[in-house]
Amino acid sequence: MRVLLIGANGYLGRYVADRLLADPAVQLTALGRGDDADVRFDLATGSPGALTRFLDAVHPGVVVNCAGATRGGARELTRHNTVAVATICESLRRSSCGARLVHLGCASEYGPSQPGSSTAEDAVPRPGGPYGVSKLAATELVLGSGLDAVVLRIFSPVGPGTPAGSPLGRLAEAMRRAMQSGDSELKLGGLGVQRDFVDVRDVARAVHAASLSAAQGVVNIGTGRAVRLREAASVLARVAGFGGALHELDSPPARLVIPGPSPEHPGAGSPPATYPYPDGCGTWQQADVRTARDRLGWRPRIQLEESLADIWMEAACRI
């Protein structure tokens, strides 16, 4: 099976590439903006005609799109998350390859949900910010393209490679600084937010399964269990061996507050820095994952403690 992977150097794309390369039946070609891509192509600026010519030459059976941007203004997010997907869809429509499209969406497309509920694929999307809006627009383009396509809506991915600027990445970095400076307590805020954390390696397994399946439409990829950030912080402290106390600051529930380093004393305690939880989904999000089980034969395997241990190992090695 020839697979064209777009965005192989991203956080999710790296693990998708590893998973696909482990399948001896897959012949993988990586397309991206970096020098290490098999084919260099910028989806945000490249023409559908140029990509169509490449598709006709390589003739993949599956195209997997892991590319996109998570940060930036509305214009940048639209260019990388929506315009890029429009280019892919138009190129596939023009091409003679007849490839199946596996597109990675995200749970931010749903927006806030009712605490205690599980969000199913038929929920009405109400994204709470420009990132979710740009990703939802891309999903609508895929679903309306007439292609053989499936959109995997990934909930909160965690595990090795988690960006240092993400909420769990910031928690790990704050804990590393506290241990380095010998602090006996760590003050954190906004830990009441609850998210469905799914390991990035399980996400890669889901992409592999979707590539081989006939499933179409939207499929949620999560664990089916929301975890409070407070609980994740406690698990992280345990795997890190942090023997100090975790004190929760009073803060709005959808904002994450961690101690920020000061310019004079980078490793010492300093005034807390406040960050909005970046996905625009409020205080609660939990996936209904029955469709993934029934149509992909997929279930998550990796527990949150293992994911957090991997995040900690990377933070502990950071100089």
Is pLDDT of 228 > 80?
yes
Q: What percent of the chain has pLDDT over 90?
A: 73
What pLDDT, on the 0 to 100 scale, is given for residue 263?
47
* Closest of 278, 300, 159 to residue 221, by C-alpha: 300
Span 229-241, mean pLDDT?
Answer: 94
Task: Report pLDDT digits (tens) over 73-109.
Answer: 999 999 999 999 999 999 999 999 999 999 999 999 9
How far is Cα 226 from Cα 70, in angstroms, rounded to an integer? 22
pLDDT at 217 over 60: yes
- pLDDT band at 260; cut points 50, 70, 90: low
Confidence of residue 14 (pLDDT cuts 50, 70, 90): very high
What is the model's pLDDT at position 256? 64
pLDDT of residue 268: 45
- The Cα-based distances of 256 to 76, 82, 301 in angstroms read 24, 28, 28
Q: Which helix (H) or strand (E) holds 246?
A: strand 245-249
**pLDDT over 60 (residue 214):** yes
Whole-prediction pTM: 0.92
Helices marked H in 22-100: 48-58, 74-78, 84-94
Q: Where are the domains of the chain?
A: 2-160+198-224+286-301
Q: Are 151 and 143 in contact (CB under 8 A)?
A: yes
Class of the CATH-defined domain 2-160+198-224+286-301 = alpha beta
> Predicted confidence band at 278 (pLDDT cuts at 50, 70, 90)?
low
pLDDT digits (tens, 9 = 90+) for 149-191: 999 999 999 999 998 888 898 899 999 999 999 988 888 887 8
- Integer Cα distance of 203 and 60 in angstroms: 22
